[in-house]
Structure 1
Amino acid sequence: MDRNAEFKRWKAQGLSKADLSRKGSVDEDVVELVQLLNEREQYFTTSSCAGRIILLDGNINGFEVQKQNCCWLLVTHKPCVKDDVIVALKKANGDAILKFEPLILHVQCRQLQDAQILAIRSTHGLEVPLSHKGKLMVTEEYIDFLLKIANQKMEENKKRIERFYNCLQHALEKETITNSHPKEKIKDKNNSSYTHKKKRNPEACGKCIEENDKALENDDDPGISVTIFPEDY
């Protein structure tokens, strides 16, 4: 079986469908990023979210919320104001949770080496319970405070999307150049530049390259979920 042909067919089927996110379409802030991935023959996206603030009503299991079993009281991909949350909370009957979720991408990859560039996750989120069994457990002042934090995270998230796009673009360009010269002679292992590259953390290649490494050294990365094209597809 020609795996490349099979993946190409699988990709065509995937891209012919609507985005599998709740919204059903690609958010404006990640259109270029999604296009960048889908233009590469080894990738295609199935679901995406540029980042959002949501208010869920459901049951708390520890501090984890299963969104598919919850009622979505409010969802926005833009900065949120207190009045909108207060109005939405009036519809809560269970345990309402305010969340900020950063960039999320679900990407199908042709093979493992393609997925390694994208296999990164984020801790840039926020999740706070506001009510219990329909009763508000915090003050409006505290909700306003939480929204200031969530809105700041939303703005920071946009900057991270742009930074990630630039890093990914550079990484893919470098990969293209490398693949176009497969027979190029490898430098002597005793060469200092070769030794320096060997010592680099291989995970850093997926986050950024060369001059971008230091910029993201202590930064959280966007959440990317990757799936490898199966052998028995």
Structure 2
Amino acid sequence: MDRSAEFGRWKAQCLSKADLSRKGSVDADVVELVQLLNAREEFFTTSSCAGRVLLLDGGVNGFEVQKQNCCWLLVTHTPCIKDDVMVALKKANGDATLKFEPFVLHVQCRQLQDAQILHSVAIDSGFRNSGITVGKRGKIMMAVRSTHGLEVPLTHKGILMVTEEYIDFLLNIANQKMEENKKRIERFYNCLQHALERETATSHSKIHEKNKPSYTHKKKRDPEKVHGKSVSEENDKELENVDDDDDDIGINIPIFPREF
């Protein structure tokens, strides 16, 4: 199957599936970005999250919370307040952890050069943990990520281990990160728009130059020259002896350059 056709099939299948995320829809802060990418024939998004503050209650493996085996006490994609966290912590039975997760976006790209454009825009917009992977079947994935997350344990076996003042301090940091995250998303969207416009203009220019007919300027013939080369004396004599009724005289007579 043609690679372009196969990519189109993958895209149609992915975009026709139901959204299986907990929220069930694309976050408001990245709707326009997702629409921009999916409207282009060389991209389609497979997953996204605009950024969120989480309070998870569950087991801890080192410093990494295992989301599959935990209870979501609180999740918000907007700035979080202490009162909401304190109410949610009353439901904690295990090790509750406060997290801020920044914007993440996964995009499948038609060609490597398309992924490289996206990667360059992501890096320039502050998402410096972004990367490109190529699968065994030739699937090219671009992940837009950053490193300004936050993860702090608050309870152990349901017992609060920190003060309310410290929780308020943590939320100020998380909300600042949320604001910076939003600015980076806006910067990424604007930079991506300009990059895609430049790429489209460049592609059209190349197609125009490829299809443009080439013209060669021809000089007026000198009576004593043919195609810029002097006619030999022998050919001059041949021309004088040819019957005037031969209409094809200029085509059939061979031309030889004069030897110097």
TM-score after normalising by structure 1: 0.75
Q: How far off its partner does 1:21 sit?
A: 2.9
Question: Could you say which residue in structure 1 is the equivalent of 2:99?
Answer: 99
Q: How far off its partner does 1:63 sit?
A: 1.0
- The separation in 2 between residues aligned to 1:82 and 1:114, in whole angstroms, is 43
Q: 1:160 aligns with which of 162, 170, 184?
A: 184
1:21 is paired with a residue whose SS is coil
Q: Larger C-alpha radius of gyration, 1 or 2? A: 2
**Structure 1 or 2: more strand by fraction:** 2
Question: Could you say which residue in structure 2 is the equivalent of 1:137?
Answer: 161
TM-score after normalising by structure 2: 0.67
Question: Could you say which residue in structure 1 is the equivalent of 2:60?
Answer: 60
2:48 is paired with a residue whose SS is strand
In the alignment of these two chains, the number of paired residues is 185
Question: Could you say which residue in structure 2 is the equivalent of 1:39?
Answer: 39
- The separation in 1 between residues aligned to 2:21 and 2:3, in whole angstroms, is 27
Q: 2:150 aligns with which of 126, 133, 137?
A: 126
CA contact (8 A) 1:58 1:71 kept: yes
Q: How far off its partner does 1:110 sit?
A: 1.5
Segments of 5+ residues of structure 1 without an aligned counterpart are 186-233
How much is the aligned-residue C-alpha RMSD, in angstroms? 1.7
> Does residue 1:170 correspond to 2:191, yes or no?
no
- The separation in 1 between residues aligned to 2:192 and 2:118, in whole angstroms, is 8
Bigger mean CA deviation after superposition, 27-36 or 116-125 = 116-125
Q: Which has the higher contact order (CA 8 A, sep 6+)?
A: 1
> Does residue 1:180 correspond to 2:204, yes or no?
yes
- The separation in 2 between residues aligned to 1:20 and 1:171, in whole angstroms, is 31
- The separation in 2 between residues aligned to 1:123 and 1:34, in whole angstroms, is 21
- The separation in 2 between residues aligned to 1:9 and 1:22, in whole angstroms, is 26
For residues 4-48 of structure 1, the C-alpha deviation after alignment (integer angstroms, 9 at most, x for no partner) is: 112112211111123343212011111110011001111111211
- The separation in 2 between residues aligned to 1:21 and 1:4, in whole angstroms, is 28
Segments of 5+ residues of structure 2 without an aligned counterpart are 120-129, 131-144, 211-260
CA contact (8 A) 1:74 1:85 kept: yes
- The separation in 2 between residues aligned to 1:144 and 1:180, in whole angstroms, is 54
